[in-house]
Structure 1
């Protein structure tokens, strides 16, 4: 076992341990609300609160199983596409917002940066939830590359200019536009904003994180598709594109049902700052763009691997 594998293994086990408090807290919220000893979250009825927190319980269990699959022998027997998809979504959720979590911690805030399922909680619960999210994000940032390196050792080899040049993917353009809208909102812009007074500092910081990764991921996909600059190591735009496309897909896939719920249920105590129709259209564009960008990244990897193999074969023939 080399140094990268040891780092990945320790990170994965640490991540599983860090995520355990979040799982236990979410289970307690579900059970406590059912028996009436814990309050229901602001803006939710009992059914909606139970559904939301049951989903997050499932996400926590999946997260623990995922990080163990990254380092345990049985994880190598799981179809690579399934592990890759779950790792991509998890990285998009958490690695992309690690700066947000750090900023929130500096301000003394707590709780999960998901928007919409928080409730009045004891300080210790908020601290444990924040610890779980930060631990999961850091763990994925270390364990996922080690897994990919072990399962597909040639995935990040070579340089950007090794593969053929293609057209600029439409998904990169859409992702960049979505990112610019989020940055526009974070800067105080009112285009698509129905209730400016409902803006919060946390919401603006999160919009900065979303916007940054949307534009960075789009730029990375453009770089790989256009094969420019030619001397850039391929692993750099692949990593940035991985996190950026995952952030677009994961966060907006999470926000779409929340936006629909608020638009249809009209809870009296929840008023999002964005126009619901604009927010829904933006998140749907982000989901589609993120998925298409990831498809481009996967095709670039396979194309690059084949090109490298052909190049090596030709070089070997010439030498012999």
Structure 2
């Protein structure tokens, strides 16, 4: 069973890397086409900002492809664990929000008779249908592939990470990330449901905005609920790997998406582009994004702190067991 799961994980890792290739090619074509004047610049951007944005996403796609290969190739086992873990955490954080967003957005648009777009990367500039489909397939394929490949990689490299700790020499970490994550999630859920407080432009909330904010809210609330169950000493009702996955993915979603949207919000607030504005009040949006980034990092620090304590527990317990054996 373990060998079969490992084979499935390795196949999924190759699939995740391959799925991002179309995204990478499209982004490179946008940069080259814009430089040569063959493709339009995205709505709300000057040429410089458009090139910077897409160059960053090209780097992210390249990192995602490298990550997929690292989860299956032998050299991936030699990469520092913190680097692999951070890239996997951020990448999965982006993708767990994108996957439900793509599905729900497609249902919303089909129900309203609106074909929509793939997320508005080019805004009003006409994007070919095949391009939008490839972008969505890249996100969906990579998300599914990493979701299967990452646990298999973790099991090969750190099998103890997926097991519930029986004892831990380090006391439970602080629970402030659970509180701040819950507050942030509830605020986003309020906005997704149509709440007006903290909204500056009430008429500029498309269906896609409601969906993405709602998905982010759900992940924030789920991660906040998982943290207390993970750090308390008595066993939880839910399986430990499930709680660990929820905390991992939810914290990654908060850190990655708010870390991405924070500079975009500040750019719109400072540059005042004529054709782009966000629905949220700038101060409220920035406050929530900063809180989400700190909360995501805080949850991950709590998980790492508990894992370090678990790793040291057997070493500290072994001498005691030996002494018991000598005196018995």
**TM-score of the two chains, using structure 2 as the length reference:** 0.90
Post-superposition Cα deviations, 1:260-290, rounded to whole Å, max 9, x if no partner, equal: 1101110111121001111111101111110
Identify the residue that residue 308 of structure 2 maps to in structure 1.
Answer: 302
- Change in CA separation of 1:232 and 1:22 when aligned onto 2, cut-off 3 Å: same
Match status 1:125 vs 2:125 = no
Post-superposition Cα deviations, 1:38-58, rounded to whole Å, max 9, x if no partner, equal: 011001000000000010011
- Change in CA separation of 1:308 and 1:211 when aligned onto 2, cut-off 3 Å: farther
Match status 1:31 vs 2:37 = no
Alignment of 1:85-124 (within 5 A): 85-106=86-107, 107=109, 113=119, 118=123, 119-124=125-130
Q: Whole-Å Cα distance in 2 between the matches of residues 8 and 316 of structure 1?
A: 40
Alignment of 1:198-209 (within 5 A): 198-209=204-215
Q: Whole-Å Cα distance in 2 between the matches of residues 291 and 20 of structure 1?
A: 29
Q: CA deviation at 1:318?
A: 7.0
Post-superposition Cα deviations, 1:177-196, rounded to whole Å, max 9, x if no partner, equal: 11111100001111110111
Q: Whole-Å Cα distance in 2 between the matches of residues 228 and 176 of structure 1?
A: 22
Q: CA deviation at 1:168?
A: 4.6
Query: Counterpart of 2:203 in 1: which secondary structure?
Result: helix
Task: Please point out which of 248, 259, 276 is paired with 1:270.
Answer: 276
Post-superposition Cα deviations, 1:54-83, rounded to whole Å, max 9, x if no partner, equal: 100111001000110111000111100000
Q: Whole-Å Cα distance in 2 between the matches of residues 5 and 86 of structure 1?
A: 21
Structure 2: stretches of 5+ with no match in the other structure: none
- Change in CA separation of 1:241 and 1:154 when aligned onto 2, cut-off 3 Å: same
Identify the residue that residue 62 of structure 1 maps to in structure 2.
Answer: 63
- Considering only CA atoms, is the larger Rg found in Structure 1 or Structure 2? 2
Task: Please point out which of 221, 240, 246 is paired with 1:215.
Answer: 221
RMSD: 2.3
Match status 1:175 vs 2:181 = yes
Query: Counterpart of 2:160 in 1: which secondary structure?
Result: coil
Q: Whole-Å Cα distance in 1 between the matches of residues 282 and 31 of structure 2?
A: 28
**TM-score of the two chains, using structure 1 as the length reference:** 0.92
Tell me how many residue pairs correspond in the alignment. Answer: 318
Q: Whole-Å Cα distance in 1 between the matches of residues 64 and 117 of structure 2?
A: 18
Structure 1: stretches of 5+ with no match in the other structure: none
- Change in CA separation of 1:319 and 1:193 when aligned onto 2, cut-off 3 Å: same
